Structure 1
Amino acid sequence: MQGEAVTLQLGHYSGCVGAHWWGLQAAALRSAREPAELRAAALLRFGRGPGGPETPTPRLVALELKGGVGSLRPDGAGAEPPVSWDGAVADYRDRGSDGGCAPRDPGSCRGDAAGDRKGNPGVAGPGAAPAGSQDAPSVRLWSDYLNVHLHPKSVYVIRQYLHDGDCGCLEAFGQGESLLQDPACVEELEDRLHFYVEECDYLQVPTLSKLPLLSRNFLLKMKQNLRCCRCFPQGFQVLCDLHNGFSGVGAKVTELLHDEYSRKGILTWGLTPVLSTVGDPQNSFYRLMNTALGIAHLSRHSSLFCPLSLSGSLGIKPQPPVTFPYIKYEASLNYHSSAILAAALDTLTAPYRLCSSQGSMMHFADSLTFSGRKVVAAWAALPFPALSGSSLLDILSAHQQDVPWKLLSSWREEQKVSCCFAQSVVLRGICQEKPTSSCPGQPRSPLHSCESPEQVLQQFLHTHFPGAFSTSHVLQQPCDTRPPFPQFFSPLLTRRGFLLDKAQGFSSAGVESMPVLAALQSSPVLHSLLSGLCQELQAPNVRRWSSFFTAGVEQDDFQEALEELKTLSQCYETGFGADGSEDEADSD
């Protein structure tokens, strides 16, 4: 069995996605199935406080700016207990765009969670929940809906920059890089990382717990210094904001991980909130520069890199956000968009968390990133459209013409992608009974000759993506969608997320789980995404915003990053024909 993973959250939007992701892990523990399909210990650690019950906490290091942790204690150990207050209360209000007043939560993020003047999204009204929503209007920070305890080593608040404000924010890639060149900051980060790495190693050596304390500590310290040894964890998951200065933080963090733990998998997810269609040109260009530099550096030092966003584009001109037929979400609310990405992420990462699998994070990455294609695209169907009680054979037979998923990697595909180099696909929450059709009048297809659910899905993928290297998994466990997951579902869904024949007479606020189909693909759409970023950052445009380079990025380094993106994009440019030209491209 493979070891544990250590997760890093770099930035506020990454914290939003992470808060939902940890909520999904806690929900899976509460509704554990027997036998379990996913190992909770892959992401969570289990400890017991003085006289208290065993409490699962994420194996997490989260970097956040001053004012961005909200209700968490300064040490990140969890929310403060409620305290009654009998004194006077002052209500400070900001003027809204309509001239009215709205309450402001001091320390809240109006940029990430509600909108600001830095190219980040804005909501329809300050503090207002979307129509038809059951969500509390006070949800602004990721700590507002974090429902798990965090270890005191988890949250590291960077006090040099403010989370919210007109100045003092972490806006540029170079600022983020400079932070991780500060010896005190690096020492703080390494101390937290070593704590979790040593703990993972300790958990994987049964005889170590029987040694005397001094001998045990000596061996742990020795293993820390022997970088060549095969010590645990199996790898690192890095959730990193791409659109702001945290892209520079992520560049240095992944470089540190690559140097310290070169034999471990480093899976990096570049996260961007839904972007406002109206924004300051300079801030929009800063965001584009941060994104391009982030992709170049993060993919360089990671085993695998995947951009994740519901925004239609990462370019200068944002496109309409991704839509889902059975989810009615408010795109400007990070609470909503991050929940969708967290559900996809929980499904995409299932292959190296399976109880039955011996595959590691490194093997998982290697199966997708051969021939220099270290960037992958994410797709998901949330929920996967299926009628309750239907067999997997019937469900997939209904989608013979088109896979019903949406691209989550910020590119508006003009036509459906019918080819890819490699892919990892997970379908969860569908009945795994014998794949027999309940519609005897249907013509037989190659799917009918399959004997197991896994074979049915594999044949389905082979039909749609002939020649691609595909790995697939079918899980019975659905994605849990009970609160704090947003209740934004269509009335056409049952409580288990399956389709109804007709709409209910009330909103489906009680959807408790849903089936999900998700995939990571080494796909030709990435050529358009990467080359498009390069085209928008040609030299004449870059010179217009010379102030970006005063934050620490040299012009030569920026041009080198652009050349790196161009070279990376060319890996996805050729070899997509069905006549075997893909092999020719790989052999170059």
Structure 2
Amino acid sequence: MAAREVVTLQIGSYSNFVGTHWWNLQESSFVYDPQQLATFPKEVNHDILFREGKTVTGQVTYTPRLVLFDLNHSLGSLKREGTLYTVDAEESVNWIGDVTLHETPKEKRNLFLEDLEETKENSDDADEIKASDLDENAEKSEEAAGGVQVRQVDPVFGKSLYNLDNEVKVWSDYLRTALHPRTIHILQDYQFNNAEQPFNVFGMGQQVVGGKTLWDQVEDRVRFFTEECDHLQGFQIFLDCHDGFGGVGASVLSYLTDEYSSKSRFTFAVTPTNLPDKTAKDRSCRIINSALSVHSGCELSSLYLPLSLSSTLWKSVGDHVTMPYLEYKADLNYHTSAVLAASIDTLTLPYRKESGASRVADITSSFSSLGRKVACLNSSIPFPLMVGSTFADTLISFGKTDPWTSLTPHVKCAVSPYFQSCVVRGIPESMVKRSDYHGLSRSFLSSCTSVDDVLRLYLAETYPSSMNAGCVMRDGLKVGSPYPHIFSPNVNHKGFVSDTKRTALSGVYSVPATTSLQSSSDIYSYIASLQECVSQFKISRHTHFLEAGMEEDDYAEMVEGLLTLAQCYETEGD
């Protein structure tokens, strides 16, 4: 069956951090070995999100259907046209007289990027950077400033492991995936991390893409990827909702709504944990931007999914989300975006499957009924499956506690959802259940013969009043380099929890995971708490929003719209 294509947009710096991990995870799951495919047929249809093309020299390429937006000086060592279609500068100069080429100093690439280029030259189908592929003495650990070892070699698997915590400044510092020249769109009017002229007001984003010349470029990029699709089913939008990119997203979503009204628009609104709340103005900007993004995003998206590893975002940035066996650093976008990307990669599997795939619209239409345009996401990465235990045992051990953690701020998974789409991946059939159950447990599990059986029975028994959908995938998350080292030492190389700790030089390469996408009355807390905060602001006092085009009547309409949206999630009978 032909692929039903999806085009992705990444709007904002943090969205690009998340998106980079997202594409890396998918490329890590590519299988090139025919013998492996014969034994383990591929589960994911990568043609849904990737496109095949050719360079000017005839080289076959495989790149994402992606348009991304970021600010000036945000690319690091990555060229704006990507890495596949570059032409030597001297060859493009047609001049009879003397020529002098003036080049700006190149950004220094970290050791991972250098090794990646060398490995690709040696082996086009390498799924991991192996020490044996490198020309230099890879067994020697490389050190960065401060004595931190950047590259080590796993003594068991011979793969290179990288500590990039101090190396990653921008998202391209760990990008494995090649990008098409039409992918990257830089907003020239603002610079990345410029404290003197921050890109921190919703209206700035609308203004910066409002000019005809620039907007024509945006349309051309989107059309390039959509017009080559045979069966376009919709769009995925990664959106920075807390700053000026919220306004860019509103403009892009408005365009998609007008031009592709029959196509689904699934928006992932992401917020980092290291927010720049140094002043009251910073805080008010973030809250107002988020409110405007929710209002416009819900109006223009088929489904809007807020995501962050901060448990609360408004009056104060709350505690960071904790998961068993995860040890991430909340101040590093490189870490937090990895958790969000792994969760998004898992939740979207139902419409990326090789066979029996659903459509994006199947999810967005189910979850957006009765005006409920906001969803919430719960995740368990890694799913805490002990060596020697079973999937059924692990679920039973949670009792009345949910086996996952909410990644949507202000939502606590406290009630049974209206709708739920649950994905389980990476659970071997050999770890489904034991054969020696007794008593009540046996009646609960006696009919289960597969992971799918266990999941469906668990959902039916635990959430009897919900509309439940389940999806089981054989393969776990591929979390080799450059995925950060955020798994506790008790997680072995296959992602299972063990009493024996990993050695300092060994890595984790795959983990089981579960996600639960929900529509729930708990979402009321997210919207109502935001509406309460923005209703207390007098927009006339926030001149930076007025100067960027905000009208007081528009602000009042937004506040009222949030109240109406929140009421859609109030529990019946309240």
Alignment of 1:264-303 (within 5 A): 264-276=263-275, 279-303=278-302
Alpha-carbon deviations, 1:517-553, whole Å to 9, x = none? 1111101221001000011112455444233222111
CA contact (8 A) 1:134 1:509 kept: no
Deviations 1:439-464 (A, max 9, x none): 43463242332344323212211222
Aligned counterparts of 2:290 and 2:347: Cα–Cα separation in 1:
22
Q: Distance between the aligned counterparts of 2:147 and 2:242, measured in 1?
A: 25
How many Å apart are 1:77 and its aligned residue? 4.1
Asked if 1 retains the 8 angstrom alpha-carbon contact of 2:380 and 2:405, the reply is yes
- 8 Å CA contact retained: 1:495, 1:512: yes
Distance 1:347 1:400, change over 3 A: same
**Which has the higher mean CA deviation after the structures are superposed, 57-66 or 23-32?**
23-32
Q: Distance in 2 between the 1:270 and 1:198 partners?
A: 26
Structure 2 residue identity aligned to 1:381? S
Residue by residue, what CA displacement relative to the aligned partner does 1:81-122 show, whole Å, maximum 9, x if unpaired? 999xxx9x9999xxxxxxxxxxxxxxxxxxxxxxxxxxxxxx
What does residue 103 of structure 1 align with? none
| Equivalent residue, structure 2, for 1:57 | 63
Specify the alignment match of 1:178 in structure 2: 207
Give the alignment partner of residue 222 of structure 2, picking from 170, 187, 193: 193
1:212 matched residue in structure 2: none
Q: Which amino acid aligns with 2:465?
A: G
> What's 2:20 paired with?
19
- Secondary structure at the residue paired with 2:322? coil
Deviates more, 1:73-82 or 1:485-494: 73-82
Q: AA paired with 1:511? A: V
Q: 1:47 aligns with which of 39, 53, 56?
A: 53
Cα distance, 1:382 vs. partner? 0.7
2-structure distance, mates of 1:15, 1:355: 26
| Code of the aligned partner of 1:6 | V
1:179 and 1:433, CA in 2 relative to 1: closer, same or farther beyond 3 A? same
Which residue number corresponds to residue 237 of structure 1? Answer: 236
- CA spacing shift, 1:289–1:74, aligned 2, 3 Å: same
Deviation at 1:233, TM superposition (A): 1.1
CA contact (8 A) 2:411 2:523 kept: no
Q: CA deviation at 1:509?
A: 4.8
- CA shift for structure 1 position 417: 1.4
Counterparts of 2:225 and 2:456 in 1: how far apart (Å)? 37
Cα distance in 2, alignment partners of residues 465 and 297 from structure 1: 32
Deviates more, 1:336-345 or 1:178-187: 178-187
Show structure 2 runs of 5+ residues with no match.
Answer: 90-101, 108-143, 151-161
Structure 1 counterpart of 2:422, from 422, 425, 428: 425
| Cα 1:468–1:128 shift into 2, 3 Å | farther
- Give the Cα–Cα distance (whole angstroms) in 1 for the partners of residues 274 and 166 of structure 2: 21
Tell whether the 8 Å contact from 2:55 to 2:85 is kept in structure 1 after alignment.
Answer: no
Say whether 1:357 aligns with 2:364: no
TM-score (norm 2): 0.82
Question: For the Cα contact (< 8 Å) 1:73–1:79, is it kept in 2?
Answer: no
Instruction: Identify the range of structure 1 (289-298 vs 436-445) with the bigger mean alpha-carbon deviation.
Output: 436-445
The CA distance in 1 between the partners of 2:173 and 2:524, in whole Å, is 38
Who is 2:511 aligned against? Answer: 514
Selected match of 1:168 from 159, 180, 197: 197
- Call closer, same or farther: CA 1:359–1:412 in 2, change over 3 Å: closer
Residue 348, structure 1, aligned to residue 347, structure 2:
yes
State the secondary structure of the residue aligned to 1:444: helix
Match of 2:121 in 1: none
Per-residue CA deviations over 1:440-489 (Å, capped at 9, x if unaligned) read 34632423323443232122112222211111101111001101100121
Task: Report the counterpart of residue 73 of structure 2 in structure 1.
Answer: 67
CA distance in 2 between counterparts of 1:78 and 1:324 reads: 39
Scaled by the length of structure 1, what TM-score is found? 0.81
- Alignment length, in residue pairs? 508
Moved more, 447-456 or 488-497: 447-456
Q: 1:176 to 1:278 in 2, by over 3 A?
A: closer
Instruction: Compute the displacement of 1:44 (Å).
Output: 1.0
C-alpha contact 2:324 2:384 (8 A) present in aligned 1: no
Q: Secondary structure at the match of 2:367?
A: coil
**Unaligned segments of structure 1, at least 5 residues:** 93-125, 202-231, 576-580
SS of equivalent residue, structure 1 residue 314: coil
Identity %: 36
Match for 1:570 among 562, 567, 570? Answer: 567
Change in 2 beyond 3 A, CA 1:80/1:344: farther
SS across alignment from 1:161: strand
Greater mean alpha carbon deviation, residues 525-534 or residues 73-82: 73-82
User: Partner of 1:469 in structure 2?
Assistant: 467
Q: Secondary structure at the match of 1:491?
A: coil
Which residue type is aligned with residue 36 of structure 1? K
**Distance (whole Å) between structure 1 residues aligned to residue 147 and residue 314 of structure 2:** 28
- Residue 29 of structure 2 aligns to a residue in which SS? helix
Cα-Cα RMSD:
2.9
SS of 1:153's equivalent in the other structure is coil
Give the conservation status (yes or no) of the 8 Å contact 2:415–2:522. no
- 1:367 is paired with a residue whose SS is helix
Please state if 1:155 is matched with 2:184: yes
Corresponding residue number in structure 1 for 2:139: none
* Structure 2 residue 338 is matched with structure 1 residue 339: yes
Instruction: Note the alpha carbon deviations across 1:186-221, whole angstroms, 9 max, x for none.
Output: 2111101111111112xxxxxxxxxxxxxxxxxxxx
Structure-2 residue corresponding to 1:37: 43
CA contact (8 A) 1:173 1:248 kept: yes
Tell me the distance in 1 between the aligned counterparts of 2:262 and 2:147.
46
Q: Once the two structures are superposed, what CA deviation does each residue of 1:135-189 show, in whole Å capped at 9, x if it has no partner?
A: 2522110011111110000001110111121233321001111223211122111
Q: 1:222-242: CA deviations, max 9, x gaps? A: xxxxxxxxxx31100000101
CA contact (8 A) 2:417 2:466 kept: yes
CA contact (8 A) 2:539 2:552 kept: no
Residue type at the aligned position of 1:350: L
**Secondary structure of the structure 1 residue equivalent to 2:565:** helix
Asked if the contact 1:5/1:233 (under 8 Å) is kept, the reply is yes
